[in-house]
Amino acid sequence: MDEVIKSELHYHHGDNTATHVATQPTENLILDRNAELRKNPGAIHDLGAQSGESFGRLMASIPIIMYDRALRNGFDLNSKDKTVADLEMMRYLQTTEGKSCLVQAPTQKYFEGLSP
């Protein structure tokens, strides 16, 4: 597992086409860790206590490959307008794929002020 992103080109002889497939070998590790953190909501704060910092605002850990796929699927996660980027992130995190990236459930307070 040397690569952060593994890139493969698949050639299809029958129709003489090529398909690019990008994968992230650590994707399942990240998603499994997210699931473990969701089971223990206090773990985020415990991690922060060890280093003297607070991780209390961490809501999600998104593998790069999934972030890229969200961008290609129309989520404006890189918007220069912070409000738009926040709304798009919350929209993404409500999808089935996005929910797997959550490390803790967003609180109602987080949603306040984010509506357009």
Q: What is the pLDDT of residues 59-71, one digit of tens each?
A: 789 999 999 999 9
If pLDDT is split at 50, 70 and 90, which confidence band does 8 have? confident
Domain hosting 54: range is 26-111
Count of structural domains, the chain: 1
Does residue 57 form part of some domain? Answer: yes
Determine, yes or no, domain membership for 15: no
Let me know if residue 11 belongs to a domain: no
- Helix, strand, coil percentages, rounded to 5, for the chain: 45, 15, 40
Q: Is residue 5 part of a domain?
A: no
Higher per-residue confidence, 49 vs 100 = 100
User: Is 116 domain-assigned?
Assistant: no
Give the chain's mean pLDDT. 80
Residue found by looking up tokens 């040397």 in the block: 2
Of all residues in the chain, the percent with pLDDT exceeding 70 is 72
* 20: confidence class by pLDDT, cuts 50, 70, 90: confident
